[in-house]
């Protein structure tokens, strides 16, 4: 576009202005002659200013047409990664206080939230989503690169939000619906529960078969201590708070889909499990970078409009 910069000069050169028509001079009084001289001087000044503004306007228009741009600093962006849905049981049994965090006894759900949040923070470059299930299953957050938002909604989760039952099959079915359109090598569902399937329209094994057909790996985690000492009417006694956990079904789900089954009896084991899953499902970031581009043509265009407005204003005064 810079080649058109001298275009006004070429037009002026090859297409001269029309000759000014000469008129016969008239004798005028001295005062009128002075007024004529002053008007001529003012006209020359106005013409020079208008030429300057027109030249600036043309230069600004050509600059805007050249589309100047500013390249920002390179930013690392993930172009490839895995799509991971986390399935979290929030049924009534997740209130059981047989886990600890920082030396403090907490509910199973609270421990799961802490450990899963740390897992999410390590999945830079992956799209992570969250499914909650109780009487039914629902998507709490869709697959997203915004890991902080996923962590936020995870931390806001409470026991019994969608009922006290456990719809494991529905949770798997919902994960299949969300993951089946994603690249085949990156479809992962991590399902955490402390019970057996007691609700929902789909059985867990049927849903696992559909997941396997869609190349979705499911890693299952069974949580809950195996022995807890409690006070009773006849003294202390040891109970198994995980007696309702259906490990056989969780193992079958993992085997059917090519995943693994893990058993978390305490918080430390849960941390180890998520670390192991991080190893099994590594992020595949290719280290690409992006330089943000900012368009600058608006500034010379604004200057051209300003010069045009000033020319119009000046001619209006004359």
The per-residue pLDDT for range 104-152, each reduced to its tens digit, is 999 999 999 999 999 999 998 889 999 999 999 999 999 999 999 999 9
- Measured CA distances, 282 to 159, 221, 304 (Å): 31, 18, 54
Dig out the tokens for 223 from the structure. 């949580």
Tell whether 127 and 157 lie within a shared domain: yes
pLDDT confidence of residue 230: 59
Q: Which helix (H) or strand (E) holds 65?
A: helix 30-65
**pLDDT > 70 fraction of the chain, expressed in percent and rounded:** 75
**Shared-domain flag, residues 239 and 256:** yes
Strand-pair category, 83-89 with 187-193:
parallel
Q: Please say if the pLDDT value at position 23 is more than 60.
A: no
Q: Give the CATH number of the domain where residue 202 resides.
A: 3.40.50.410
Can you give the pLDDT at residue 33? 47
73 vs 251, more confident: 251
Residue in the structure block whose two tokens are 């003012």:
42
In a domain, 287, yes or no: no
User: Number of structural domains, the chain?
Assistant: 2
pLDDT above 70: residue 30: no
Residues paired with 186 in a beta bridge: none
Interval 51-66 mean pLDDT = 78
Give the single-character DSSP code of 19: P
Q: What was the pLDDT predicted at 28? A: 46
**Same-domain check for residues 65 and 103:** no
The rounded distance, in Å, linking the Cα atoms of 157 and 170 is 19
**Tokens 């886990």 appear where?**
99
User: Do 175 and 311 have their domain in common?
Assistant: no
Token readout for 213 is 């057909």
What gap in Å lies between CA 191 and CA 175, rounded to an integer? 10
Q: Is the pLDDT of residue 20 over 60?
A: no
Confidence of residue 54 (pLDDT cuts 50, 70, 90): confident
Determine the pLDDT at residue 209: 97
CB of 266 closer than 8 Å to CB of 225: yes
Q: Is the pTM of this model over 0.85?
A: no
Task: Count CB neighbours of 30 within 10 A.
Answer: 7
Query: Which of 55-64, 94-103, 175-184 bottoms out in mean pLDDT, i.e. has the lowest?
Result: 55-64
User: What pLDDT score does 314 carry?
Assistant: 74
- Euclidean distance between CA atoms 26 and 230, whole angstroms: 123
Angle at 180 between CA 174 and CA 184, to 5 degrees: 140
| Dihedral over Cα of 38, 40, 43, 49: its sign | negative
Inter-residue contact 260 to 247 (CB < 8 Å)? no
Q: Is residue 31 predicted with pLDDT exceeding 80?
A: no
Q: Which residues contact 315 (CB under 8 A, 6 or more apart)?
A: 50
Please identify which residue in the block is written with the tokens 């938002």: 149
* Conformational region of residue 12, where left means phi above 0, alpha means psi within -120 to 50, and beta covers everything else: alpha
Stretch 149-160: mean pLDDT: 95
228 bridge partner residues: 239
Strands 187-193 and 137-144: unpaired
What is the three-class DSSP state of 99?
strand
Expressed as residue numbers, the domain containing 309 is: 42-69+293-318
Residue 250 has pLDDT above 60, yes or no: yes
Residue 229 shares a structural domain with residue 310: no
Report residue 242 as tokens: 């995980």
2-18 residue pLDDT tens: 666 666 666 666 666 65
CA distances (Å), origin 164, targets 55, 154, 241, 303: 77, 18, 16, 66
Task: Give the integer Cα–Cα distance in Å for 175 and 219.
Answer: 12
Q: Between β-strands 75-76 and 69-71, what pairing exists: parallel, antiparallel or unpaired? A: unpaired
The reply to whether 65 and 125 lie within a common domain is no
Say whether both 211 and 193 belong to one domain: yes
Whether residues 64 and 97 fall in one domain: no
Is residue 22 included in any domain, yes or no?
A: no
Judge if 86 and 131 occupy the same domain: yes
CB atoms within 10 A of CB 153: 13
What pLDDT, on the 0 to 100 scale, is given for residue 127?
A: 92
């Amino acid at each position: 576009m810079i080649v058109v910069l001298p275009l006004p000069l070429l037009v002026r050169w090859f297409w001269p202005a029309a000759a000014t028509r000469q008129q016969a001079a008239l004798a005028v009084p001295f005062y009128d002659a002075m007024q004529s001289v002053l008007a001529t001087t003012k006209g020359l000044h106005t013409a020079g200013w208008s030429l300057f503004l027109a030249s600036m306007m043309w230069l600004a228009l050509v600059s805007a047409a050249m589309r100047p741009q500013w390249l920002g600093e390179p930013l690392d962006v993930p172009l490839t990664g895995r799509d991971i849905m986390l399935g979290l049981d929030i049924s009534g049994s997740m209130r059981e206080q047989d886990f600890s965090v920082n030396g403090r006894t907490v509910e199973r759900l609270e421990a799961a939230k802490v450990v899963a949040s740390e897992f999410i923070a390590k999945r830079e470059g992956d799209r992570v989503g969250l499914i909650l299930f109780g009487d039914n299953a629902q998507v709490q957050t869709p697959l997203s690169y915004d890991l902080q938002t996923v962590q936020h909604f995870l931390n806001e989760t409470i026991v019994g939000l969608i009922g006290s039952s456990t719809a494991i099959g529905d949770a798997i079915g919902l994960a299949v619906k969300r993951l089946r359109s994603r690249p085949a090598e990156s479809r992962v569902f991590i399902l955490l529960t402390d019970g057996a399937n007691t609700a929902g329209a789909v059985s867990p094994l049927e849903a696992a078969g559909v997941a396997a057909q869609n190349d979705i790996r499911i890693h299952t985690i069974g949580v809950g201590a195996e022995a807890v000492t409690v006070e009773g009417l006849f003294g202390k006694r040891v109970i198994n708070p995980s007696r309702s956990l259906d490990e056989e079904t969780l193992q079958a789900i993992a085997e059917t889909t090519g995943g693994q089954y893990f058993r978390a009896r305490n918080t430390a084991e849960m941390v180890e499990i998520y670390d192991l899953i991080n190893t099994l499902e590594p992020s595949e970031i290719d280290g690409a970078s992006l330089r943000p581009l900012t368009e600058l043509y608006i500034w010379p265009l604004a200057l051209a409009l300003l010069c045009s407005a000033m020319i119009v204003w000046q001619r209006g005064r004359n």
